[in-house]
Amino acid sequence: MNWGATAPEREAALPCDALTPGASVSADRAISIDASPSTVFAWLCQLRIAPYSYDLLDNFGRRSPRTRDPELTRLEVGQRFMEMFTLRSFTEDEHLTLQSGKVAVTYAVRHEAGGTRLQVRVRFDGPRIIGWALALGDVVMMRKQLLTLRELAEREAATTGS
């Protein structure tokens, strides 16, 4: 259920934990990105309009944008993300926390030597068997999303020096 997340990352408290305190399944994914936390966070804001995963499956065949729209960094609680999630909380350059029904997700950004560490925790409330099934499918999609966001943030950092 976990991909790339260290034991300390899996044990750390994140905002999504409070939204689903009785979640039956919790899964962490993490990746290091050679870009500043502000650049990575700005790319997370792009999730408002596209999932950045397998576009054929989860974006109706439309390609997720490869250039950032700076207007999307203007966040307000209640905004929609990836068409199905609602922004529940955020701290600029630190985290976005989303919820859709019994699923809560936190994208946490933190500085690490040479760049940024991006950790995502997904919590599934409800029957454990359904949570496990959702988490299994999610790990494939989330891995692709994180790799795509890393590629885009690192490309931007290389061209702008941030």
Residue 143's contacts (CB-CB under 8 Å, 6 or more residues apart) are 3, 29
Fold (topology level) of 7-160? Alpha-D-Glucose-1,6-Bisphosphate; Chain A, domain 4 (3.30.530)
Residue 162: pLDDT over 80 = no
Residue 132: pLDDT over 90 = no
Residue type, 52: Y
> What pLDDT, on the 0 to 100 scale, is given for residue 80?
97
Q: What is the pLDDT of residues 67-114, one digit of tens each?
A: 999 999 999 999 999 989 999 999 999 999 999 999 999 999 999 998
Residue 18: pLDDT over 60 = yes
Length in residues, the chain = 162
Nearest to 68 by CA among 53, 95, 48: 48
Average pLDDT over residues 6-17: 97
Residue 133's contacts (CB-CB under 8 Å, 6 or more residues apart) are none
> What pLDDT, on the 0 to 100 scale, is given for residue 57?
59
